[in-house]
Structure 1
Amino acid sequence: MATIGNTYDPATTAAGLATNYTSARQSILTAQTKQASSAAAALTSLRSAISGYQSSLLSLTSGKTMLTQAATFSNTAIGSASAGVNATAGSYSFFVERLATANQVSYNGLADSAADGGNLGIEIGGAPGFSINLASANSDGNATLTPREIAAAINAEPTNNGRVSASIVTVNGVTQLMLTSKTTGAAGNISLDTAAVNNAGLQAALSAPPTQVVTGQDALVWLGAQGTGTAINQASNVFTNVDGVTITFAKAQAPGDAPVTLTVASDNAGTVAKVQKFVDDYNKLKAVIDAMVAPGDPAKGSTPGVFANDGGVRVLQGRMVSMLRGANGADSLAAYGIVATREGSLSLNATRLTSQLAVSPKGLDTLIGSSVNGASSGIAGSLDGYLKEWSSSTDGQLKQRLEQNTKLQTSLVKRQDQLDKQYDSAYKRYLMQFTQLQTLQSRMASNTSMFDALFGDKSN
């Protein structure tokens, strides 16, 4: 008699049938979920790219001009200078009679003293600056107050705000308390008020005239020759007397030296660098958008961009290109060496830019314009204005698209949850059915074995 055998596993069979039951809908849902996730990442990336480009436009055009000025000294050992966008070309003579210095004093012969408490006042520029509590300065709480504890208390005092730094220097076994002013100039000179110091020995040591290691003094610079020009006194070695120019003097001159010459003039290399940044930042944003709308090429193994079929992002791509190509005339982008390729990317011919700047320097600023709110103009203003339609945090397209995509992702999660439940239900149903069938087959197999034993051929 034939034997009925069990040739399947109920759990595996149930899982396969449940998968077949949901596979078509799962494939669609998986594709939609993947697309929504890719869209969310792409929209976030696009928002970051647009925001970065707008920030760059604002940085490049927030000054009055794209043109760069350079400020140079005839003797760089005497000083250095930098010119801002408001600097005016010109030549200036300076004689540096003295530099501003920060006061540094030392109190010599200090020794450990009895921790009798009181307060030590630190004066700056002859006026009360701050004070330290000598009882609190005794950090280890023993009967002795050391110079190092005094220095540490001065540095740690919250009301000091770093105006005075204190350190301990030991020379030939003699301890010195060194105090250094943070600021240069006579107004930063340091002195001590010891009237409230309780320990007589410590009070006497700190009341003695200190050693002036470095005398705090103001800078004295002459606009013109020494003694006959205009004297400029100030506490800092950084001067801003020439509009748009920051000057830092580093070395005093000897009497009889000739004044140094500061020259402010156009800096073509700096201007080229700014225009190159304008070009590079535009190309960077365009490359991000181009990748998102790329159609793909199966023959070359390239896949379509996430927004390959999105008309709105394609409009963004086209509008950016048309805004640049729309600037024609004598002072066009091409005239200044900024050329658009067939695909809309930009390249810069620095030689052509420099030549056109010599002919029409103001034309570049008119052409590029500004993206500053309330004063937008030119290409920068047009680009920024259109990009705000996308980047606005209130009603921009990116905000709306991200919100819609988030709703879609929430809906897809719910649909996935429902499909998972349908799968689980189908699996349980199939598992129960095939488990029952397996049990029935086992019984039938058992009965078959019994019949074989009873009625089988026993001639052997």
Structure 2
Amino acid sequence: MAINTTYDPTSTAQALAEQFVSGRQTMLTNQTNAAAAAAKGLSTLGSAISSFQSALLGLTGANKTIAANSAIFSDTTAATATATAAAATGSYTFFVERVATAHKVSYSGLTDFAGSGSLTLGSGSNSFTLDLSGKSNWTVRDLAAAINGDTNNTSISASVITTGSGVSELVLTAKNTGESNAITLKPSDPDNAADAALAAKFGTANELTEALDAVLRVGSEGGTPITQPGNTFNVIDGVTMTLTKAQATGSTPLTLTVAADSSKTTANAQAFVDAYNKLKAALDALVNPADPASGSQAGAFAGDSGVRALRDRLVSIVRNTGSATLAGFGITGGRDGLLSLDSTRLTKALAANPKGLDSLIGSTATGSASGIAAQLDSYLKTWSSSVNGQIQSRKAAVSKLQGELATRQTTLDRQYDSAYARYLAQFTQLQSVQSSMSYNTSLFDALFSSSKD
């Protein structure tokens, strides 16, 4: 009878080596997958918290409030305005006598000239020195580029206009408005012949736009004037006004109306609700248990009491049970912990208590943190802080674990390779022995078969 030697030593050795490490490999794979899921979950958690904190800062940071006021001029072509929640509501009248303008001049008849001397240019108290001795020949465009490219130039811009006759004019424009910011161009050293000769090439400046201060009169055309270099006025607490066009003599004064802006307040409240719900949904997904019925996978922190406590703490903060609550302003929480906004209820509550929502939600501004916003931000920082926050410490622990698991995997791979090599050698030798036995058996069969015949 022939001996079966048709099995493959390689596949046999591979199967036995895999069986040798199977239990430990399964455990190690599960631990590695869990660590990877935790690392990914921590990144998701960190991003969700960071996004909420940014949104909260945008709504309740320095000079930010949920409640909003509007400031509207009767003629928005002459002036515009904005108001913070701190602005006192009411009606004001002004007359725009003049808007501030930036000085603009041109120098005509300039031709190419040899580099020599230096100029001092500027606007108001901001000036810089332009040394032209380092270049043998200058064109008007070279000069404009040098002015714009000077690192010490913070006050003027230069451009070139070519007239119909082909002559180039250098145009200088002040970056700031007002009489005090008039453009100057002079030799750096009047006693230096090269500087004086250079300045003389420019001749007298053509004034294209006069440097003027803005003049705003209180009440009427004959009211008290308020004069300043710029067109932005902050003469009413919490209100910023920007002048855009002077009124003609005899025109009706402008009326500025400062009032509560219910639509903007509602939008801010909705933004708060949306930002909170986005964070809450992210936390729900991270702690969600597996559902075999629907086939959904468990969240990265399904069994993590710390992350679950984080979610529950946020819910308890927004569901404050004091005398004033978000529900009183139309912001209510459902059974799932998500918030919703009733804009009609909000508008009615604000009409009765205009500052109530801001006092309740509060601020995250440094030095004046208060209310729900401060509680949320302060608690979330125990997780998001880059110094000693829980996310940072958890990431460090997971990273350390992943390193240890990688080392264990390397060790297990070596054990697999060793077992595979051992089994391969054994079954290769066994196959060789079986082949020899099969050959000898065939010889005996042939021998005895011949003797019988």
Query: Does the alignment pair 1:298 with 2:296?
Result: no
Mean alpha-carbon deviation: is it higher for 183-192 or for 369-378? 369-378
- The answer for the alignment partner of 1:218 in structure 2 is 213
- The answer for the alignment partner of 1:418 in structure 2 is 411
- The answer for the alignment partner of 1:130 in structure 2 is 128
Residues 1:180 and 1:366: Cα distance change in structure 2 (over 3 Å):
closer
CA contact (8 A) 1:53 1:282 kept: yes
Query: Does the alignment pair 1:73 with 2:73?
Result: yes
Instruction: List aligned pairs for 1:58-207, cutoff 5 A.
Output: 58-62=57-61, 63=63, 65-113=65-113, 115-125=114-124, 129-136=127-134, 138=135, 141=136, 144-161=137-154, 163-171=155-163, 172-194=165-187, 195=190, 196=192, 198=194, 203-206=199-202
Mean alpha-carbon deviation: is it higher for 50-59 or for 409-418? 50-59
> Matched residues, percent identical?
50
Residues 1:131 and 1:81: Cα distance change in structure 2 (over 3 Å):
same
User: How far does residue 75 in structure 1 lie from its aligned partner after superposition?
Assistant: 0.4
CA contact (8 A) 1:117 1:197 kept: no
Count of aligned positions: 448
Residues 1:325 and 1:106: Cα distance change in structure 2 (over 3 Å):
closer
User: How far does residue 273 in structure 1 lie from its aligned partner after superposition?
Assistant: 1.4
5+ residue gaps, structure 2, are none
User: How far does residue 202 in structure 1 lie from its aligned partner after superposition?
Assistant: 5.5
* 1:326-358 alpha-carbon deviations (Å, 9 max, x no partner): 4254x3322211111111111000000001111
CA distance in 2, matches of 1:4, 1:91: 110
CA contact (8 A) 1:169 1:178 kept: yes
Q: Secondary structure at the match of 2:194?
A: coil
Q: Secondary structure at the match of 1:71?
A: strand
CA contact (8 A) 2:186 2:199 kept: no
Q: Secondary structure at the match of 1:299?
A: coil
CA contact (8 A) 1:69 1:267 kept: yes
CA distance in 2, matches of 1:181, 1:70: 33
- The answer for the alignment partner of 2:309 in structure 1 is 315
Q: Secondary structure at the match of 1:229?
A: coil
Query: Does the alignment pair 1:438 with 2:438?
Result: no
Give the TM-score taking structure 2 as reference length: 0.91
- The answer for the alignment partner of 1:332 in structure 2 is 325
CA contact (8 A) 1:121 1:128 kept: no
- The answer for the alignment partner of 1:259 in structure 2 is 253
Residues 1:283 and 1:442: Cα distance change in structure 2 (over 3 Å):
same
Q: Secondary structure at the match of 1:27?
A: helix
Q: Secondary structure at the match of 1:198?
A: helix
User: How far does residue 128 in structure 1 lie from its aligned partner after superposition?
Assistant: 7.5
* 1:109-165 alpha-carbon deviations (Å, 9 max, x no partner): 11123x25111222433x6822222222x3xx5xx432222222222222213x222
Residues 1:32 and 1:200: Cα distance change in structure 2 (over 3 Å):
closer
* 1:155-183 alpha-carbon deviations (Å, 9 max, x no partner): 2222213x222222111222211111111
Q: Secondary structure at the match of 1:248?
A: strand
Q: Secondary structure at the match of 1:158?
A: coil
Residues 1:318 and 1:120: Cα distance change in structure 2 (over 3 Å):
closer
Q: Secondary structure at the match of 2:303?
A: coil
5+ residue gaps, structure 1, are none
- The answer for the alignment partner of 2:373 in structure 1 is 380
User: How far does residue 403 in structure 1 lie from its aligned partner after superposition?
Assistant: 3.1
Q: Secondary structure at the match of 2:106?
A: strand
Letter of the 1:213 counterpart: L
CA distance in 1, matches of 2:109, 2:314: 75
- The answer for the alignment partner of 1:28 in structure 2 is 27
